[in-house]
Homo-oligomer: A and B are copies of this chain.
Amino acid sequence: MCAVIDYSSGVPVYRQVANAIRDDITAGRYRPGAWLPSEAQLAQMYEVGRDTVREALAYLRAEGKITTVRKRGSMVAAEVTREAHHVPPGARVIARMPTPDERRDLATSVELREFGGIPEGVPVFEIFPGARKHRKVLRGDQVELVIDPPENK
């Protein structure tokens, strides 16, 4: 029934599996917050090895689509509402993946306990405000930058 793995396509099998699972997520067959089948089950479903499933899950983690909890399983990432963050004129902003330190510092207490930090696949904003104020690092999955319209003062 599910999933045709094409071994002659040249596309790594783990990516084909990842694509199939991602399609199931986007199609709503796995809902946000729900647990995926276990690695062994997924391996059986797609008729591939466990290693391949593990790589596919790592791939989806890197995309931020799922988070994996040690000794529990992999969960579809929950949707969060983004909080507006106002950026002053003249600022510069880059997006990048967080450092290990930032992953620890930006985590909620729950995430820190469960995952050891913010999940994989979550980028950060690094904001350099105009003058010589300190730069800010914000979680990319929880904020939305709002460019302030010019004020008349």
Contact = CB atoms under 8 A, between A and B. Distances in A.
B123 A123 contact: yes
Nearest to A94: B144
Number of chain copies forming the complex: 2
A52 to B, nearest CB: 11
A3 B84 CA distance: 43
Interface size class of A (residues with CB under 8 A): 35 or more
B96 A144 contact: no
Contacts of A125: 95
A89 B88 CA distance: 10
Given A19-B100, A95-B125, A140-B123, A147 B89 contact: yes
Given A19-B100, A151-B150, A124 B95 contact: yes
Interface of A: 11-12, 19, 22, 51, 54-55, 58-59, 61-64, 70, 82, 87-97, 100, 116, 120-121, 123-125, 140-141, 143-151
